[in-house]
Amino acid sequence: MAVDPFPAPPTPGPSVFSPFVLGPVELRNRVVKPATNEAMSRGGLVTDQLVDWHREFAAGGVGMTTLAYCAVSGEGRTFPDQIWMRDAAADGLARFTAAIHAEGAAAAIQLGHAGYMCPASATGTAPMGPSVRFSPFATTFCRAMSRADMDRTVADYARAARLAAETGFDAVEVHVGHGYLLSQFLSPWNNHRRDEYGGSIENRARFPRRVLAAVREAAGPAVAVYAKLNMDDGFRGGLELADGVAVARMLEADGSVDALQLTGGHTTRTPMYLLRGSSPLQEMARHEKQLIRRLGMQAFIRFFDDYPFEEAFFLSHALQVRREVDLPLMLLGGITRLETIERAMALGFEMVAMGRALIREPDLVARMEKGATVAGVCDACNRCIAEMERDYTRCVYRP
């Protein structure tokens, strides 16, 4: 007999449609549209299309929507058109937050640096990471970061957080997952350092903790700060759950974050671990415009394992984090049903993050609140991810 991966809680939790106070910010409900790369920026700036895309989620009832992956510096980008945090981007960022606030939702921004995944075609410079490593995404070896590189990057995160606050964002999400730079420091697969930034999990967490402390100070008292934190990388030799839980405890003790959004997987090793469901990788390779990256993606596809989809697929790991910390937690992982959200609330999660379900149905939360539906119709085909490579992120089932 199959075991229910989502245990029935003994008592109901708070309503998903009740307000929640995230640090200094009150959200109108507990559903967050997480960062999902939109591929709608141009010249590293916000576009009207990008604003309108997020406006749909805000009008559709979410408590907060998240502008995806804004690089903290030009060298932290993965694509040439990707938004990076500088004065030239300020007007567009302010236009974005004003549009979201007009619909009654809060606006979050995801700040990140891709580290060894940054291709020279996007940044004009060689990639860097915690240690020397070949990157299939950048199709070259990265160099190991020096102390000066780390100091400069901490300052870049702080400057980006200040700009986010100045342009009206309610929350700053720091990307510490999916094999991006801060996650690379946590992962023993990427981090082979022999100094105080490598070895034990305490040492591997040292640089991400420095970054989060700097972001917390720079963002100021009116802005919420949370981390998108890998619980594990999903492969042997990567970050394991016990270390992921230990990092969550460290961040709680530091007082640098108001919440954690729990995730897992490594973009260049286990991309389907963080998605589950049907693999879009062959279609993504077919749509990739740069020949060298297309050939690299095609060469590596056969090494990527598929993972069957089940709703709330990060739940078992997230429950272990829940038992160890008192911080507010966002449960993520293919959530589509109201019943699942209600059970998550009863199990002690303060918020849930819904990505693909809202790309398919941006007004899903409002219809759930009105009693018009109890479940989304997303089938985790993941073709929205492949559409990102062709043009921009969208559901192929929507007109």
Cβ contact 40:79 at 8 Å: no
Instruction: State the helix-helix crossing angle for 48-59 and 90-102, rounded to 10 degrees.
Output: 20
Residue 194's CB: how many other CB atoms inside 10 A?
9
pLDDT at 399: 76
Tokens, residue 351? 């918020």
> How far is residue 205 from each of residues 6, 143, 201, 230, 262, measured CA to CA in Å?
30, 20, 6, 12, 16
pLDDT at 283: 66
pLDDT at 299: 54
Q: Quick one: CATH architecture of 20-390?
A: Alpha-Beta Barrel (3.20)
Catalytic residue among 69, 116, 180, 307: 180
Model pTM above 0.85:
yes
pLDDT at 237: 97
pLDDT at 1: 33
Q: Please tell me what DSSP assigns to residue 227.
A: E
**3-class SS at 32?**
strand
Q: Is 180 a catalytic residue?
A: yes
With tokens 């604003």, the residue in question is: 51
Kindly calculate the radius of gyration of the chain based on its CA atoms and give it in whole angstroms: 19
What is the tens place of the pLDDT at every residue in 332-378?
Answer: 999 999 999 999 999 999 999 999 999 999 999 999 999 999 999 99
> How far is residue 177 from each of residues 6, 213, 271, 393, 396, measured CA to CA in Å?
24, 17, 12, 20, 27
- What is the sign, positive or negative, of the torsion defined by CA atoms of 193, 300, 279, 51? positive
Helix (H) or strand (E) holding 113: none
What is the tens place of the pLDDT at every residue in 293-329?
Answer: 555 555 555 556 678 899 999 999 999 999 999 999 9
Spell out the domain ranges in the chain.
20-390
| Secondary structure (H, E, C), 261-308 | EEECCECCCCCCCCCCCCCCHHHHHHHCCCHHHHHHHHHHHHHCCCCC
Which residue type does 290 have? Q
End-to-end CA distance of the chain: 41
Which candidate, 87, 70, 94, 6, places its Cα nearest to that of 340? Answer: 6
Q: Can you list the residues of the chain whose pLDDT is less than 70?
A: 1-10, 281-305
pLDDT at 279: 77
Cβ contact 345:316 at 8 Å: no
With tokens 């919440």, the residue in question is: 259
Contacts (Cβ under 8 Å, ≥6 apart) of 133: 116, 141, 142, 190
Whole-number Å distance between alpha carbons of 139 and 74: 19
Q: How many helices (H) and strands (E) does the chain have?
A: 15, 13
Q: Give the ranges where 181-258 is alpha helix by DSSP (H).
A: 181-186, 201-204, 206-219, 241-254
Could you write out the DSSP letters of every residue in 317-370?
HHHHHHHH--S-EEEESS--BHHHHHHHHHTT-SEEE--HHHHH-TTHHHHHHT
Which candidate, 88, 86, 103, places its Cα nearest to that of 51? Answer: 103
Whole-number Å distance between alpha carbons of 2 and 104: 42
pLDDT at 390: 81
